[in-house]
Amino acid sequence: MIKFHIIRTIARYEMRTLLRSWFFRIFAGLAVVGLGIFNVAVFVPASGAPWLYRALPASIPYANLIILNLGQAIVAVFLASEFLKQDRKNDTIEVIYARSMTNAEYILGKALGILSVFFILNLIILMMGIGFSFISSDSTQGIWEFFFYPLLISLPTLVFILGLSFFLMILLKNQAITFILLLGYIALTIFYLNTKYYHLFDYIAYKIPMMNSTIGGFGNFNEVLIHRGIYFFFGLGLIFFTVFKLQRLPQSRKMASFPIYLTIISLCLAGFFAEKYISLKKGNINFKKQMIELNNDYVNTPKVKVSSCNIELEHLGKEIAVHAEMEICNETNSSIDTLIFSLNPSLKITSAESNGEKLQYQRKLHLLMINYPGGLLPGDSTKLSLNYHGTINESTHFLDQNLDEYEDNFSLEMFRIRKRYAYLQDKFVCLTSESLWYPTSGVGYATTKPTQHFPDFTNFTLKVKTDTNLVAVSQGSLNKIGEGEFEFKPKVVLPKISLLIADYNKYSITVDSIEYSIYAKNGNQYFLDHFTDFTDSLPNLIRDLKNEYETKIGLEYPFERFILAEIPLHFALDKHIWSVSSDAVQPEIMFYPEKGVFLEETDFKKRKKRSERRMIRDNEEVSPEELQARIFKRFIRGNYMANHEEWYMFNVIDRNTYTLLPNYYTFITQFNSEKWPVLNMALEAYLKDRNESSASSYRWFFTGISRGERINLELKEAPLNRLLETGIEKSGDDDKVKLYNIIIAKGEYLFSVFRARYGDDEFNKFLNQFIEKHKNKVFSFEEFEKNFKDRFNEDILNEVDNWYSKKELPGFLIKDLQTYKVMEEEFTKYQVRFKISNPEAVDGLITINIDLADPSNRRRRGDNENPDFTRKIHIPAKTAKEIGFVFTTEPARMNIYTHISKNLPNNLIYDFTSFDEIKKVAVFDEIKSSELFTDLLNENEIVVDNESENFEFNQDLQKSYLKSLIGENKDQGYKYSGIRYWSPPAEWKPVLRSGFYGKYVRSAVYTKTGHGERTAIWKAPLDHDGQYDVYCHIEKINIRRRRTTKKSNYNFKVYHDDGMEEITMSDEELENGWNYLGTFFISPSTAKVELTNKSIGKMVFADAIKWVENK
């Protein structure tokens, strides 16, 4: 029998020993001091730490434990291997070994001692967190979160790493090798393995989602427990193995093999948990795939329309019981025998009736198939009532994602958060239409019709019965029937409704007969303290903001309510491929993450302090009322009305996540095209940003490959319909382009071309009127097309079809750019003019942005990032235009954004260093047709660009074996990358830049300089020999390093009939653009120029060579 007294004794003295070891003391000291500083830093609003740290009680303990765990995982390796090493070295150990105790008692005692020491450290770190949390007035106070984290994070990690260290020490008998192996293993898991296989290898739990919500608790406690169980039992197994292999004779022969049985049992348990974990994760995906398969089978089956749906829902803790009365009608041309509905697979149907008659039904996963005797004839309608109850299976959500790559958790700062899609808990309920908590007609996402998402516009009513302390939130006017009983009646038909039930407090105000409310969870209404002074001016403020937004989008808010309702931060904000916004945007209701943790400007305290500091700096006097109004406006604008310039701290959200637009379009009408279902989202995307300038804030300085360029690259490969079928295959990239991005870009493009073609006002007015006319109902493509033709007298059918199914893109060539001064009525003005041609078969669109010279040479951030001058110009297929603008102030830069086109980069940048002297010509301030040009070269010119087949380079790869192994998987991204200024590659790599030469693709290849081991070769396809001027195209890109700039020179070898001439061009000699290298007699066989990577600079670029024949 195990004697606990012995284990305790050994543990006690192991603890004493460790606590006295300087190694541990220094680690503990550093941990306490370091984390103490970190805690102070995140708790002081002035530190700039995200609001997330202070807002939630789980943040600090979670952050502390995650950081500590990284350290202790390493230190524990040392301490664990140390004791076995010491044991072997010390003869004193023999006096211990000769004592009457079992090997298990000894090893368990040792392990317990080490664990206890770390437990003390964890406790100190936790107490620190608790202290800060309780001192802070911002944090919602919590208790139990504090104790879960050490148990979930530290304990399994330590048991595992102790076990592994013991095991390796016993096996290898060498502390140094054990230490190196384990450090390698730790590094491997932290930097590589932890993201693989659903974070299975993440023994430190760095990426295991454990963030706790004040509303919904842990994201998925079971999953975490199972994952941590793997490492706990694996560690325990290795500890038992150590007992078995300990270099001490066992206490009795009978029990000698007992530890090996325990090892096997523990390892089996670990294996069982690992299998369970993987099957749980894979199970979700497989279940989703099965649902999609089923949807594919039934997507073409005719479905009924649900015209009204009266739902009576009882919230019974973790279940709901629902009675739904529906009115359905058959709007198709054929009789419908089987009524197909989607309903959450975990909801069990108890009865289905129609006009008092029981109906036979069948369930297949999420589908409910009801046999309607005799069939529902075209044009007929009937009543249908369903009773069902049960829980909610969250797998019904986001079937439209790339399931093999889909991540069910995300990071915020150092926190990992499990995505949640629906909640059905005792104290909290969150159900959206994606949860299928009420029956919807037909199937959901099907790969055969990916963007077909046309929910019925239904007349909903909802009665909710829940706990008397809870408050329900849904669409429509609210009638409180009794304690815990609510009735919601939307005034108009809606495509979907949602339901929230929580311990909410409601704060509301009515402005111009719209009720604006905030539903905040009790205890989370921190914002109240920050907006005490502007109550009187709030109505005006809201009115102004509403007007501001509606002026921008050109539409009017159609509902009588606007609700902000608080939900856990776990709520998934992924985007569907049928809507611009996330699921947080519901009709009349916007969900917001608890305490606004990842919204913009929700740290009102910090914002106030910053504003006050700025006011002092600028000598500005602002009343508290005005200041609060400013903060409020900033919050609303940043989150709900964000323009292109808005910058988000977390990449979980973007300016579309919380866009209000669906309330102005998607929830009131529907572009229901059978052939091109994607048009609904395309129009939504256009409406959202039709009055935005389309260039991003990076437009001048961006050097990598932008999202827009990636979209162009994808669309060059395949048309939209193909991409929708196959998905985007490129991977291994952080800023991955998703179908969602492509649909938005294509949507904006299609309608922007229309607008540019028919005129801003004319086209937008047409759209607004059309939407108004189809309010609260769907419209077909045919209706749209007819109206379009009536207004613009043009048939768009072919154009839309090409847009959808052809991969042709417009392409733009620019030439004859001139900048000079002109006189107009005694004033000197600045003329910019150029010719632009679109020789391709598809209409194109460009946006020209011009920045005027800023005398202060400083661009302000935040206030006004829009360019000084912007113009969108339609360039029809196979046409060219000459464009001229005249300015009173000298323009500094011009940027031509080419939208969806063959052009790469899609931002062509022109820096105007100086304007030519006054030309005595008339000002040219117009856009007029010009002669089409398809090339930029003159007759006697031959250019070989790096994209040409006559260009080649030798790589002379100097990659290490390891690098090449790691690099193997990385090369699945796009061809072009950004320029790595600080560490140029040791091979030729293609990069894009506006200054490079190229017809549509302005690219070059670049490499790190060296001794000439890498060369680039241009061979000219000359027809005949002759005297040629040779030019190289150079874009000077230099880097400053330690205040000195090492400017690259270029070593060319020009081959000609008399041999070869080496030409070195220094940076001073070179200019941006074409540079003359010399004139040579060259015949077709000798026409070659070489560039080596020998240079005094850091990198060289190989772009283009031009041969110009001297006639």
Partner 1 sequence: MKITIEDLSKEYKNGKLALTDINLEIENGMFGLLGPNGAGKSTLMRILVTIMKPTTGSVNVNGFDLAKNRGDIRKMLGYLPQDFRFFTKLRTWEFLDYAASLSGLKNKKTRLHKVDEWLEKVGLFDVRERHANKLSGGMKRRLGIAQALIGDPKIIVVDEPTTGLDPEERIRFRNILSELSQKDVIILLSTHIVGDISSVCSDLALLDRGTLQFNGSPEKLVEKVRGHVWQVNTSGVEYDLLKEKYAVISTIPSEDGWEVQLVGEEIEAKNAIEIEPNLEHAYVYFMEYLTEHNKF
Q: Does 142 sit near partner 1 (CB under 8 A)?
A: no
Whole-number Cα distances in Å, 345 to 211, 352, 806, 826, 947: 28, 16, 39, 78, 54
Q: Which residue has the tokens 């400013």?
A: 630
Q: Three-state DSSP class for 645?
A: coil
* Binding window for partner 1 (CB under 8 A); candidates: 244-252, 586-594, 809-817, 940-948: 244-252
Of 90 and 1085, the one with the shorter C-beta distance to partner 1 is 90
Q: Among 68, 76, 101, 908, which residue sits at the site for partner 1 (rule: CB under 8 A)?
A: 101
Residue 102 touches partner 1, criterion: CB under 8 A: yes
Q: Using CB under 8 A, which of the segments 10-18, 545-553, 638-646, 936-944 binds partner 1? A: 10-18
Rounded to the nearest whole angstrom, what is the least distance from the CB of residue 249 to partner 1 in the complex? 6
Binding to partner 1 by residue 116, rule CB under 8 A? Answer: no
How many angstroms separate the CA atoms of 1082 and 1029, rounded? 10
Interaction of residue 258 with partner 1, rule CB under 8 A: no
3-state secondary structure of 990: strand
CA 905-908-715 angle, 5° bins: 35
Encoded one letter per residue, x for contact with partner 1 by CB under 8 A and - for no contact, window 260-279 reads --------------------
| Nearer to partner 1 among residue 251 and residue 382 (C-beta) | 251
**Cβ 111 to partner 1 shortest distance, Å:** 16
Q: Which of 2, 23, 41, 94 binds partner 1 (CB under 8 A)?
A: 94
Could you say which DSSP state residue 450 is in? T
Cis peptide preceding 905, ω within 30 of 0:
yes
Query: Smallest distance from the beta carbon of 83 to partner 1, in angstroms?
Result: 9
User: Taking the complex as a whole, how short is the minimal distance between the CB of residue 957 and partner 1, in angstroms?
Assistant: 51
Q: How far is the CB of 22 from partner 1 (least distance, A)?
A: 10
- Binding flag, residue 98, partner 1 (CB under 8 A): yes
Please report whether residue 85 would count as binding partner 1 according to CB under 8 A: no
Q: Is 252 in the site for partner 1 (CB under 8 A)?
A: yes
CA 642/CA 651 separation, integer angstroms: 15
- 96 forms part of the interface with partner 1 (CB under 8 A): yes
Beta carbon nearer to partner 1, 86 or 279:
86
Span from 1-9, 29-37, 217-225, 526-534 in contact with partner 1 (CB under 8 A): 1-9
Q: Which is nearer to partner 1, 19 or 649 (CB)?
A: 19
Q: In the complex with partner 1, which residue's Cβ is closer, 3 or 1041?
A: 3
Residue 2 binding partner 1, by CB under 8 A: no
298 binds partner 1 (CB under 8 A): no
**Phi (first) and psi of residue 955, to 5 degrees:** -85, -40
Class of residue 416 by CB neighbours under 10 A (exposed 0-12, middle 13-18, buried 19+): buried
**Encoded amino acid at 813, one letter:** L
Which tokens in the block code for residue 363?
A: 């369930």
Told to check if 95 binds partner 1 by CB under 8 A, we report yes
Nearer to partner 1, 165 or 517 (CB): 165
**Binding of residue 16 to partner 1 (CB under 8 A):** yes
Measured at the alpha carbon of residue 740, what is the angle toward residues 737 and 744, in degrees to the nearest 5? 105
The DSSP call for residue 650 is S
Q: Which is nearer to partner 1, 105 or 843 (CB)?
A: 105
Provide the minimum distance between the beta carbon of 95 and partner 1 in the complex, in angstroms, as a whole number. Answer: 6
- Residue 103 or 401: which CB sits closer to partner 1? 103
- Residue number with CB closer to partner 1 (247 or 828): 247
User: Do residues 242 and 167 make contact, with C-beta atoms less than 8 angstroms apart?
Assistant: yes
Residues 220 and 417: their CA atoms lie apart, in Å, by 9
Nearer to partner 1, 98 or 962 (CB): 98
CA distances in angstroms from 315 to 431, 471, 474, 490, 498, listed in the order given: 12, 11, 14, 21, 14
Q: By CB under 8 A, is residue 89 in contact with partner 1? A: yes
Interaction between residue 107 and partner 1 (CB under 8 A): no
25 binds partner 1 (CB under 8 A): no
10 touches partner 1 by CB under 8 A: yes
Pick from 85, 97, 353, 736 the residue near partner 1 by CB under 8 A: 97
Among 135, 137, 191, 253, binds partner 1 (CB under 8 A): 253
Residues 176, 249, 481, 1096: which binds partner 1 (CB under 8 A)? 249
1043 belongs to the binding site for partner 1 (CB under 8 A): no
Provide, rounded to whole angstroms, the least separation between the CB of residue 176 and partner 1.
19
Residue 17 is a binding residue for partner 1 (CB under 8 A): yes
Pairing verdict, β 907-911 and 891-897: antiparallel
Token pair for 937? 């070269």
Residue 6 binds to partner 1 (criterion: CB under 8 A): yes
| Minimum distance of partner 1 from residue 702's CB (angstroms) | 59
Q: Provide the minimum distance between the beta carbon of 172 and partner 1 in the complex, in angstroms, as a whole number.
A: 18
The 8 Å CB, 24+ separation contacts for 937-943 are: 938/1108, 940/1108, 940/1109, 940/1111, 941/1106, 941/1107, 941/1108, 941/1109, 942/1020, 942/1021, 942/1022, 942/1106, 942/1107, 942/1108, 942/1109, 943/997, 943/1104, 943/1105, 943/1106, 943/1107
Q: What are phi and psi of 1002, to 5 degrees?
A: -90, 90
Whichever of 253 and 860 has its CB closer to partner 1, that residue is: 253
Interacting residue with partner 1 among 116, 174, 195, 251 (CB under 8 A): 251
| Residue with smaller CB distance to partner 1, 92 or 972 | 92
Q: In this chain, which of 37, 41, 47, 86 binds partner 1, going by CB under 8 A?
A: 86
Could you write out the DSSP letters of every residue in 64-98? HHHHHHHHHHHHHHHHHHHHHHHHHH-THHHHHHT
846/927 Cα distance (integer angstroms): 13
Question: Is 500 in contact with 521 (CB distance < 8 Å)?
Answer: no
State yes or no: residue 151 binds partner 1 (CB under 8 A). no
- Footprint of partner 1 on 551-570 (CB under 8 A): none
Residues 390-429 that bind partner 1 (CB under 8 A): none
CB of 57 to partner 1, least distance (A): 39
Closest among 396, 345, 394 to 366, alpha carbons compared:
345
Alpha-carbon distance of 938 to 947, in angstroms, equals: 19
- Evaluated on CA atoms 329, 335, 339, 340, the torsion sign reads negative
- Give the binding range for partner 1 (CB under 8 A) out of 85-93, 268-276, 720-728, 1098-1106: 85-93
Does 13 participate in binding partner 1 (rule CB under 8 A)?
A: yes
Q: Min. distance of Cβ 158 from partner 1 in angstroms? A: 21
Distance CA 484, CA 500 (A): 13
Q: Which of 40, 47, 92, 196 is the binder for partner 1 (CB under 8 A)?
A: 92
CA-based end-to-end distance of the chain: 105
CA distance 705 to 991: 8
Residue 136: strand, helix, or coil: coil
> Does 1 participate in binding partner 1 (rule CB under 8 A)?
no
Question: At its nearest, how many Å lie between partner 1 and the CB of residue 26?
Answer: 15
CA distances (Å), 573 to each of 160, 741, 815, 927, in order? 35, 15, 45, 43
Q: Is 953 helix (H, G, I), strand (E, B) or coil?
A: strand
Residues 345-384 touching partner 1, rule: CB under 8 A, are none
Q: Residue 1084: CB partners within 8 Å, gap ≥ 6? A: 1020, 1021, 1022, 1023, 1024, 1025
The one segment of 99-107, 189-197, 628-636, 912-920 that binds partner 1 by CB under 8 A? 99-107
Contact footprint for partner 1 (CB under 8 A): 5-6, 9-10, 13, 16-17, 20-21, 86, 89-92, 94-102, 248-253
